[in-house]
Homo-oligomer: A and B are copies of this chain.
Amino acid sequence: METLNIGDAAKASGVTAKMIRHYEEIGLMPKVRRTMSGYRMYSAQDVHMLRFIKHSRNLGFSMKQIEALVGLWRDTRRPSSKVKALAIEHIAELDQKIRELETMRATLQRLAHACHGDDRPDCPILEELAVDALTTPNGNGAAGPAKKRKGKNCEHDCH
């Protein structure tokens, strides 16, 4: 069978040689055979798997998810429901992330719009960032119930 060395496998799959070795190390790829001198040898099937991994990465799947996907891919008796479940799960993750970024974007857009952007120092952006309340996370600021060991604020600083 025709085999490729790691560089050619990299070019054929779009995965860098570095990452191919990495995938082997973490067990995502099987350990491939070696030439007598220790060079890795990749079959067309190996390259195929590398492309599968590459495509999965391009869709934003994590390595953990890709491990599962590869497992299902190789199992010709998998139920497609399992694959679909992984996809749906990942769509939800993407949605979550997109929503977060869009929230940031909206806030920034509002602030940037309010900022003159000239030579004067007045800036609503900085003002908002400097505001005392904790905004984005569930708005719990400095006002908490007292805890133990209230501290005496030792004033004798050294240096």
Residues on A lying within 8 angstroms of B by beta carbon are 2-5, 8, 11-14, 33-37, 39, 41, 47-48, 51-52, 54-56, 58-60, 69, 72-73, 75-81, 83-85, 87-88, 90-91, 94-95, 97-98, 101-102, 104-105, 107-109, 111-112, 115-123, 125-126, 128-132, 134-137, 140-142, 144, 147, 151, 153-159
Contacts and interface: CB of A to CB of B under 8 A. Distances in A.
A13 to B, nearest CB: 8
Contacts of A112: 84, 87-88, 91
Nearest to A128: B55
Nearest to A55: B129
Given A39-B154, A97-B101, 18 more contacts: A4-B151, A11-B142, A33-B157, A48-B130, A51-B132, A51-B134, A55-B136, A58-B135, A59-B129, A60-B101, A79-B119, A80-B117, A80-B121, A80-B123, A81-B119, A85-B117, A94-B104, A98-B98
